[in-house]
């Protein structure tokens, strides 16, 4: 199994650095022995503070906009939305600081840099004029710190410094170096600077932060007040803790972070690096090794960045990208931490691309697509935390913008749980911001968590109460159209536009994705009511709406309709494929049960083309896998593995790929594609469709022989399987829940019925 990323030179920028993290602290390691750079993040360090999520006059404007759209005047309706409804932007995820380790090594004669994903340790082994040396870097979850050890066979001198791009002060005293600072109160997104404002503004009440490190060495330690100097050391250990003022999304960030950092640091300062490392690797590998994918690849003795050139032939790369996504998930989404944002927990920019926020019209959801299939249900909890925030703040938004019950969120969320549509005073903003469906989409994840884990307590106490409030919002909003169908209106289809008289518009009477998300939420609420034996009347109301809810339609050209009418699209190859939600992640369309709709999806995909952003490619891999076309599915993984130079920092043509450090290039770096591709590969091997477990449903020829151990499927079932020349040769199912399941193997029509006894592996084949 491929578990290592390997390089023969230090990173030149972030896109070549190696990422480590414990969900809270994130670090990007550059690994240059002479001047090492380690950029640091903390998952709660964001600009901003709690605010209100309503807007005066918004509901009145909404009513007027709705009237215009329903009467066919899209330009007038969209104008009202953009001028009178759209509101404040989200805040941004901040870089915390950078740590530098300088050493007097002289010329380097040999160099290796590796990330061992199974143990979550980065190592740099090198030889310089002074002899050989090694560096190890890890972020420990059990000890809550970043730990770095530099060892060498002869003495070295080091200088250790730190700084931050935010407002900060730095102090070095004794063996400690500490940085304290303040995040901005407001960061405006790139390209959206209101007149008379600064891109980055500081002000009262924003988030403070501290990080501090303790040095342990056999050398002589001194300091000049700002940096630490170590002379004549063969061993140097740095232990770093960090914290911010954040306590809760609805409270001023006023925690004493300095006090908390120093108490954490003093608690671990005595710990030996070897002990920290052994507890860390034990902890990390226990999650990482839950799943094992072996595609019988030949060993390739090449640096990882060079292997990307041979994508499509180098089978081990599929294992590597699959394992890397799981590695990133375990490193960034620990129980009790914040959900992974656009850049996971790793961001170096003070004005990051798209604020490094939660973009919830595909990106955040994609981050959590692989979590259950890859047997990491605990790592889903941070998303629940995020959903809980919006379920509170979104009540104000529902009331203020729509005069509706329940709660709603739009396309952006931040640490503070913002829920309003963004794009204040911005012409053209409706295409991304006027989309009130993320609260519905996020609820699919809550119900899915139950379906995988069968955790009824979670369903009763957490998932269903939130789902019900989300459903109430859409219930209030539905109106009957002239055909007697319930529609959610007006809306958009993220982030696509169509042409009217040669001009681009985005707001429509209804969109397929909006309808699908509502249908799914209502359907799942009905299931909850049955499982929990509650809310019978509410469920009947939902059932009644479901019967007349506008759903999929096929256009004259055989494609699935994206909007209420077959508009001429502004961009036929648009990167989003929102109207295919019902195929993936939704479960409305399958090749067997709805073949016509499946064909329409195929046509839509063909027409959209085979290019895309990193996440767009991953989504298409999942969609083709659901269409049972393994060859097409894997071709998107190959395109995603297309090397993107470390120097490419922004998007030009939405051509996605992979940076040298295997991070997904939207471009720029966006972590969603790394997670989406894991889901895509898992979908090729295992699906759950219409109550049937489908094994190897979309197996590409080049993955004809292999094994996968530990993948999970709905029903709390763990699947271990081996296959040879495209045929399943061994299958074992295990579950803590007694149940009888139906299993279909490969393309064969024959279904098997399997009875599972709790905790006892059942060998089916
Ligand atoms: C949506 C996408 C972009 C990008 C951004 C973060 O706006 O359309 O491609 O992923 O989110």
Q: What is the pLDDT of residues 169-227, one digit of tens each?
A: 999 999 999 999 999 999 999 999 999 999 999 999 999 999 999 999 999 999 999 99
pLDDT in tens, 317-340: 999 999 999 999 999 999 999 999
Residue located via tokens 């940085």: 179
Residue 577 beta carbon below 6 angstroms from any ligand 1 atom: no
Whether pLDDT at 15 is above 90: yes
Say how far apart CA 537 and CA 96 lie, in whole Å: 50
Whether pLDDT at 747 is above 70: no
So what's the pLDDT on residue 307?
A: 98
So what's the pLDDT on residue 373?
A: 98
Whether pLDDT at 750 is above 90: no
User: In this structure, what DSSP letter does residue 339 have?
Assistant: P
So what's the pLDDT on residue 749?
A: 60
The phi, psi pair for 627, rounded to 5°, reads: -80, 5
Residue 342 beta carbon below 6 angstroms from any ligand 1 atom: yes
pLDDT mean over 144-168? 98
User: In this structure, what DSSP letter does residue 46 have?
Assistant: B
Residue 669 beta carbon below 6 angstroms from any ligand 1 atom: no
Q: How many CB atoms lie within 10 A of CB 618?
A: 30
Residue with CA closest to ligand 1 atom 6:
354
So what's the pLDDT on residue 286?
A: 98
Residue among 496, 655, 670, 675 to mutate when testing ligand 1 (max atoms within 8 A of CB):
670
So what's the pLDDT on residue 616?
A: 97
Residue 304 beta carbon below 6 angstroms from any ligand 1 atom: no
Q: Report which ligand 1 atom has the smallest distance to the Cα of 432.
A: 7
Whether pLDDT at 500 is above 80: yes
Say how far apart CA 105 and CA 135 lie, in whole Å: 13
User: How large a percentage of the chain has pLDDT more than 70?
Assistant: 100
| Cis upstream peptide for 667 (omega within 30°) | yes
Ligand 1 center to 571 CA (angstroms): 15
pLDDT in tens, 337-353: 999 999 999 999 999 99
Whether pLDDT at 588 is above 80: yes
Residue 188 beta carbon below 6 angstroms from any ligand 1 atom: no
pLDDT in tens, 608-646: 999 999 999 999 999 999 999 999 999 999 999 999 999
Residue located via tokens 């295990």: 734
pTM of the model: 0.98
Ligand 1 center to 357 CA (angstroms): 11
Ligand 1 center to 431 CA (angstroms): 11
Say how far apart CA 460 and CA 454 lie, in whole Å: 11
User: How large a percentage of the chain has pLDDT more than 90?
Assistant: 97
Say how far apart CA 383 and CA 335 lie, in whole Å: 10
Cα-Cα-Cα-Cα torsion 459, 678, 143, 47, nearest 10 degrees, comes to: -80
Ligand 1 center to 589 CA (angstroms): 25
Ligand 1 center to 215 CA (angstroms): 42
Residue with CA closest to ligand 1 atom 11:
359
Q: How confident is the model at residue 748 (pLDDT cuts 50, 70, 90)?
A: low
Give strand ranges (E) for 268-314: 292-294
Across the chain, what does the average pLDDT equal? 97
Residue whose C-alpha is closest to residue 456's, from 536, 387, 531: 531
Whether pLDDT at 653 is above 80: no
């Amino acid at each position: 199994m491929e578990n290592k990323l390997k390089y023969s030179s230090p990173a030149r920028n972030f896109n070549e650095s190696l990422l480590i993290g414990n969900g809270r602290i994130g670090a990007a390691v550059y690994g240059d022995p002479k001047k090492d750079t380690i950029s640091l993040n903390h998952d709660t360090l964001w600009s901003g503070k709690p605010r209100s999520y309503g807007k005066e006059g918004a509901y009145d404007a909404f009513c007027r906009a709705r009237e215009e759209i329903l009467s066919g005047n899209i330009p007038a309706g969209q104008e009202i939305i953009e001028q009178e409804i759209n509101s404040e932007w989200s805040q941004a995820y901040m870089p915390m600081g950078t740590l530098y380790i300088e050493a007097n090594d002289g010329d380097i004669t040999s160099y290796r840099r590796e990330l061992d994903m199974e143990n979550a340790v980065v190592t740099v082994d090198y030889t310089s004029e002074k002899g050989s040396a090694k560096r190890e870097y890890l972020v420990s979850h059990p000890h809550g710190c970043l730990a770095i050890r530099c060892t060498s066979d002869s003495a070295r001198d080091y200088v250790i410094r730190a700084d931050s791009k935010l407002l900060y002060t730095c102090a070095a005293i004794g063996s400690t170096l500490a940085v304290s600072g303040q995040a901005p109160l407001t960061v405006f997104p790139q390209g959206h600077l209101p007149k008379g404002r600064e891109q980055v503004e500081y002000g009262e009440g924003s988030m403070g932060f501290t990080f501090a490190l303790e040095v342990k060495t056999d050398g002589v330690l001194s300091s000049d007040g700002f940096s630490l100097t170590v002379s004549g050391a063969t061993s140097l250990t740095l232990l770093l803790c960090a914290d911010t003022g954040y306590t809760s999304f609805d409270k001023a960030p006023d925690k004493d972070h300095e006090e908390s950092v120093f108490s954490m640091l003093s608690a671990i300062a005595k710990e030996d690096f070897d002990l920290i490392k052994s507890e860390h690797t034990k902890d990390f590998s226990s999650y990482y090794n839950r799943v094992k994918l072996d595609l019988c690849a030949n060993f390739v003795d090449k640096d990882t960045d060079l292997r990307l050139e041979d994508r499509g032939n180098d089978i081990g790369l599929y294992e590597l990208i699959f394992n890397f996504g799981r590695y990133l998930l375990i490193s960034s989404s620990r129980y009790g931490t914040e959900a992974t944002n656009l850049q996971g927990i790793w961001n170096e920019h003070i004005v990051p691309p798209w604020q490094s926020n939660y973009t919830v019209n595909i990106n955040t959801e994609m981050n959590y697509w692989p979590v259950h299939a890859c047997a990491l249900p605990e790592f889903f909890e941070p998303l629940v935390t995020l959903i809980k925030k919006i379920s509170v703040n979104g009540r104000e938004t529902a009331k203020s913008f729509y005069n509706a019950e329940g709660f709603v969120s739009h396309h952006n969320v931040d640490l503070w749980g913002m829920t309003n549509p963004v794009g204040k005073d911005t012409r053209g903003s409706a295409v991304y911001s006027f989309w009130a469906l993320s609260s519905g989409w996020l609820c699919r994840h809550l119900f899915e968590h139950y379906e995988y884990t069968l955790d009824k307590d979670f369903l009763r106490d957490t998932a269903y109460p939130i789902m019900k409030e989300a459903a109430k919002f859409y219930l209030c909003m539905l109106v009957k159209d002239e055909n007697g169908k319930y529609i959610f209106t007006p809306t958009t289809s993220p982030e696509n536009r169509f042409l009217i008289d040669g001009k681009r518009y985005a707001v429509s009477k209804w969109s397929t994705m909006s309808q699908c998300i509502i249908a799914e939420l209502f359907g799942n609420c009905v299931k909850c009511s049955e499982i929990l034996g509650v809310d019978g009347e509410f469920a009947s109301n939902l059932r009644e709406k479901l019967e007349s809810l506008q759903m999929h339609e096929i256009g004259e050209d055989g494609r699935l309709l994206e909007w209420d009418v077959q508009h001429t699209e502004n961009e036929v190859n648009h990167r989003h494929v929102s109207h295919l939600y019902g195929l993936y992640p939704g479960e409305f369309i399958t090749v067997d049960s709805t073949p016509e709709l499946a064909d329409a999806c195929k046509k839509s995909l063909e027409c959209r083309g085979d290019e895309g952003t990193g996440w767009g490619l991953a989504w298409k891999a999942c969609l083709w896998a659901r269409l049972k076309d393994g060859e097409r599915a894997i071709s998107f993984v190959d395109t995603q593995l297309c090397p993107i130079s470390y120097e490419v920092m922004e998007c030009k043509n939405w051509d996605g790929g992979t940076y040298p450090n295997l991070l997904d290039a939207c471009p720029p770096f966006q972590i969603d594609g790394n997670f989406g591709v894991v889901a895509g590969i898992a979908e090729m091997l295992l699906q759950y469709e219409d109550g049937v477990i489908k094994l190897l449903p979309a197996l590409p020829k080049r993955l004809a022989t292999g094994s996968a151990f530990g993948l999970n499927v709905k029903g709390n079932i763990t699947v271990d399987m081996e296959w040879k020349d495209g045929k399943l040769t061994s299958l074992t199912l295990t579950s803590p829940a007694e149940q009888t399941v139906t299993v279909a193997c490969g393309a064969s029509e024959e279904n098997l019925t399997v009875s599972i006894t709790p905790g006892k592996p059942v060998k089916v084949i």
